[in-house]
């Protein structure tokens, strides 16, 4: 989402780094470009004005301009102010006094029902026993959608059909949760194509009936400033406690994410990063600010790896690598684990400095190449995967035909795997205290 904004901000700040000393005029020129980049990203103009004023006030101080590294100081200031703009720090859900009731509100099409299921799944993984209440009786198939999602996730859903008053459904769902030992209640409410008094009145009555600890406004990031304006209206009527920003994996310009906290005063608590039910992430303002400025996001990368690969699996893999028992089956398994973590381009973008290297070297991430490697390995027999040395010319032709690739592609994969195994063998020797040889010695030096 932030790709266009990130590229412009990084280019602007990169110009400052090329200067040994900075003047107030240099800072003004840079901030003009920053202001334009933010406006082009559909950030609220009042937010842009406030942001650039704060940055300038800090950046033109004597302490910065006379510093030995003024450009780095300015980058730090921009990072700090971006982090504040995005909310400052992570804000957790209030789950202190079970059963905790969470009410999800928003316009139709913003992703409320899917977000209800995603949040329930997130809480289930945290050891909670959630109940989802289907209180949207107006949108066709909304109740059925929640029931299907609940069945997929193994999460209970309370419904009373579509001919009941939503307020009564919410009350009955709350009573059901109490009697069945649920410690979190998530109420999916109805939306409209636009705000109207009848909808708001119904939401206010539901709020009064179940007294939610959290009211989360679900905003579609693809709608830009409209999402911010609607969020402000919902906040005035319901006093929302936080925001779930959906479709953050899309190609919107990022204006909603950068404006919504400052306009509403309410934090973004979660972001939707895809259609799957596990594609909901806790929102970390500091990490997003770092990504926008090309500083990477190693913590999120580690968390994604930990969620995709268990500690026991990682330990077994480490032992196989050290003892040089790593096979093509292991390699295939690792590719599939990486795919669970998300798009490769997104993962690599979390590595500090990757965005600059990608731009300088024209590096392109080819997801299709990974699929080809996967197809090649899956076209091999179990014996060939465990012992690639037996793969002769005729076998290579069969594997290429079966995987829809060329023999050269099969040859390349086998060569790379052989080189990787040789390096692993030398790593194993290092682990036993032996001196490295050849390429490994050069690599380590």
What's the CA gap between 279 and 277, in Å, rounded? 6
Confidence of residue 86 (pLDDT cuts 50, 70, 90): confident
Confidence of residue 394 (pLDDT cuts 50, 70, 90): very high
pLDDT surpasses 90 at 134: yes
pLDDT surpasses 90 at 131: yes
What's the CA gap between 157 and 8, in Å, rounded? 46
Contact between 264 and 243 (Cβ < 8 Å): yes
What's the CA gap between 162 and 152, in Å, rounded? 22
Confidence of residue 251 (pLDDT cuts 50, 70, 90): low
- 3-state SS, residue 209: helix
For 417, other C-beta atoms within 10 Å of its C-beta total 17
Of the spans 36-45, 66-75, 197-206, 302-311, which averages the highest pLDDT? 197-206
Contact between 244 and 115 (Cβ < 8 Å): yes
pLDDT surpasses 70 at 321: no
Domains of the chain: 3-85 (1.20.120.140), 100-295 (3.40.50.300), 301-444 (1.10.260.30)
220 - beta bridge partners? 246
What's the CA gap between 276 and 49, in Å, rounded? 37
Residues 6+ away with beta carbon under 8 Å from 56:
27, 28, 31
Question: 405-427, pLDDT tens digit by residue?
Answer: 999 999 988 888 887 777 766 65
pLDDT surpasses 60 at 54: yes
More confident of the two residues 357 and 338: 338
- Per mean pLDDT, which range of 9-13, 301-305, 357-361 is the poorest? 357-361
Whole-number percent of the chain with pLDDT over 70 = 77
From residue 118, how far is each of 121, 151, 198 by CA, in Å?
A: 5, 13, 28
Structure tokens at 304: 């994604």
More confident of the two residues 191 and 440: 191
pLDDT surpasses 60 at 297: no
As a whole number of angstroms, the longest Cα–Cα distance in the chain is 77
Q: Measure CA of the first residue to CA of the last residue in the chain; give whole Å.
A: 39
């Amino acid at each position: 989402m932030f790709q266009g904004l990130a590229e412009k901000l990084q280019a602007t700040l990169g110009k400052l780094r090329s200067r040994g000393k900075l003047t107030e005029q240099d800072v003004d020129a840079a901030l003009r470009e920053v202001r334009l980049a933010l406006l082009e990203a559909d950030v609220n103009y009042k937010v842009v004005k406030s942001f650039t004023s704060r940055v300038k006030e800090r950046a033109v101080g004597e302490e910065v301009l006379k510093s030995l590294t003024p450009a780095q100081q300015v980058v730090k200031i921009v990072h700090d102010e971006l982090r504040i703009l995005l909310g400052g720090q992570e804000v957790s859900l209030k789950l202190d006094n079970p059963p905790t009731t969470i009410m999800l509100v928003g316009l139709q099409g913003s992703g409320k029902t899917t977000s209800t299921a995603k949040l329930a799944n997130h809480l289930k993984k945290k050891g909670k026993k959630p109940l989802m209440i289907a209180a949207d009786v107006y949108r066709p198939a909304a109740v059925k959608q929640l029931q299907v999602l609940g069945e997929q996730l193994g999460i209970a859903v309370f419904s009373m059909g579509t001919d009941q008053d939503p307020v009564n459904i919410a009350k009955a769902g709350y009573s059901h949760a109490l009697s069945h030992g649920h410690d979190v209640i998530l109420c999916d409410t109805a939306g409209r194509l636009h705000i109207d008094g009848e909808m708001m009145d119904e939401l206010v009555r539901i709020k009064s009936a179940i007294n939610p600890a959290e009211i989360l406004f679900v905003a579609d990031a693809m709608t830009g400033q409209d999402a911010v304006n609607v969020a402000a209206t919902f906040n005035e009527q319901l006093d929302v406690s936080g925001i779930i920003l959906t479709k953050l994996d899309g190609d919107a310009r990022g204006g909603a994410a950068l404006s919504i906290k400052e306009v509403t005063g309410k934090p973004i608590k979660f972001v939707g990063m895809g259609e799957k039910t596990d594609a909901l992430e806790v929102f970390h303002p500091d990490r997003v600010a770092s990504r926008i400025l090309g500083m990477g996001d190693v913590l999120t990368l580690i968390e994604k790896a930990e969620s995709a690969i268990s500690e026991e699996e990682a330990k077994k893999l480490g032992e196989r690598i050290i003892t040089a028992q790593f096979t093509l089956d292991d390699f295939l398994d690792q590719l599939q684990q990486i795919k669970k973590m998300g798009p490769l381009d997104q993962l690599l973008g979390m590595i500090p400095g990757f965005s600059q290297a990608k731009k300088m070297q024209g590096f392109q991430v080819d997801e299709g190449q990974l699929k080809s490697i996967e197809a090649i390995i899956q076209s091999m027999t179990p014996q060939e995967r465990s012992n690639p040395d037996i793969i002769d010319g005729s076998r290579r032709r069969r594997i290429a035909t079966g995987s829809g690739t060329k023999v050269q592609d099969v040859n390349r994969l086998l060569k790379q795997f052989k080189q990787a195994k040789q390096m692993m063998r030398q790593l194993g020797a290092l682990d036993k205290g032996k001196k490295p040889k050849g390429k490994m010695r050069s690599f380590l030096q």
